[in-house]
Amino acid sequence: MNLSLTTSSPPRPRAQPGLAERYGPWAVVTGASDGIGREMARVLGSSGLNVVLVARRRERLEALAAELRGYGVDVKVEAADLGDLAELERVLTTCAGLDVGLLVASAGFGTSGSFLEQPLAAELTMLDVNCRAVVVMCHALGRQLAARGRGGLVLMSSLVAFQGVPRAAHYAATKAYVQSLAEGLHVELRPRGVEVLASAPGPIRSGFGARADMQMGMAESPEVVARGTLAALGRAGTVRPGLLSKLLELSLATLPRWARVRVMALVMGGMTRHRA
């Protein structure tokens, strides 16, 4: 379930050898102001890739950019709401002028609770950010990567992508869309030198839970998810990064789909019980 910015300087993440050579010189990371996206950008910057940081909150992006420039890489900040098509096109215009070798599409958010009680506008915005922005960026940057004959696309799926999830029905549906897109592109683009990976973590310690108004008893760190995801790029089509993600998937793997839906209903019921 793709489910903090501090005043002290965070420790420098360990570089992952080979990323710059395989996917450089530029990487684009959406959702870079928090959580998984922020940690992805930190790992990529420490590994020698120049980074385009994309998210809504400019002040957070500027703080992260200052950190990444300390690694000796170039950084561009694009404060943009990817639910707005005009702002999304502005980001792509910036990317078109760079030799981009990697897209990490980490931007996204969720809602929880009864679907019929959610404001329709919020659900449509989630659809735009979680799905439309992903397909637009994959189409534009995927063409750039295929033309250069090498590169990578990392799409953030989720544990909830593999069955319906009562009380997070639409969020799970958006992640099922991303998962299916990544699986298809993984096979379609590999002969053209483009590696595509779906990352499907379980609950994550980030701002996601607060925005979705969910209380999570167990959660994985964004650092573990970022490192595990990037380590799997080029080696798998789907990764479940972190021990928690693997344990949760293992617990569901032997169940038929209808039973997984019932189990997820119980899980989501617990995460949203405080709102009753």
CATH of the domain at 205: 3.40.50.720
State how many domains the chain has.
1
- CA 232/CA 234 separation, integer angstroms: 6
pLDDT in tens, 187-237: 999 999 999 999 999 888 655 545 545 555 567 889 999 999 999 999 999
In a domain, 12, yes or no: no
In a domain, 3, yes or no: no
Q: Out of 23, 71, 76, 171, which one is annotated catalytic?
A: 171
In a domain, 32, yes or no: yes
Q: Which residue has the higher pLDDT, 112 or 273?
A: 112
The residue behind tokens 């790029």 is 233
- CA 51/CA 45 separation, integer angstroms: 7
Does the pTM surpass 0.95? The reply is no
220: which DSSP letter? B
Partners of 105 in beta bridges: 30, 155
171 is catalytic: yes
175 is catalytic: yes
In a domain, 10, yes or no: no
pLDDT in tens, 117-159: 999 999 999 999 999 999 999 999 999 999 999 999 999 999 9
In a domain, 8, yes or no: no
Q: Out of 23, 71, 76, 175, which one is annotated catalytic?
A: 175
